[in-house]
Amino acid sequence: MPGNPWGAMPSDHISSAAITAMSLSEVGTLYGAIGWTYVAAASFAIVYLGEHYVADVIVGLLVAETVRRAEPLAAPFVRAVARAVE
């Protein structure tokens, strides 16, 4: 069976799941473990089912980590824009 011609690069499913797992890890170890278990299971499933390539998953994880690291740098700008809009 051919792969999904509409699959995104990177995998937005894995990026959003990884961001959620990162947030859950900040709440507690058990919650983080549950979140990362979901990320691993979803990664396996989407590659196994041909919806994404492994590279899509890896880049999705990198996007999530980049967003996590950039958030503290972007926060002051976002707050300033929010104040200006209000």
pLDDT at 7 over 80: no
Residue 1 lies in a domain: no
Residue 53 lies in a domain: yes
Residue 3: pLDDT band (50, 70, 90) is low
Residue 5 lies in a domain: no
pLDDT at 1 over 60: no
79 or 1, greater pLDDT: 79
Tokens for 61, please give them. 């994880």
Residue 64 lies in a domain: yes
Whole-angstrom distance, CA of residue 47 vs CA of residue 49: 5
Q: How many separate domains does the chain show?
A: 1
Residue 81 lies in a domain: yes
User: 52: which DSSP letter?
Assistant: S
Whole-angstrom distance, CA of residue 22 vs CA of residue 48: 24
Range of the domain at 24: 12-85
pTM higher than 0.85: no
Residue 7 lies in a domain: no
The string of pLDDT tens digits covering residues 12-71 is 899 999 999 999 999 999 999 999 999 999 999 999 988 888 999 999 999 999 999 999
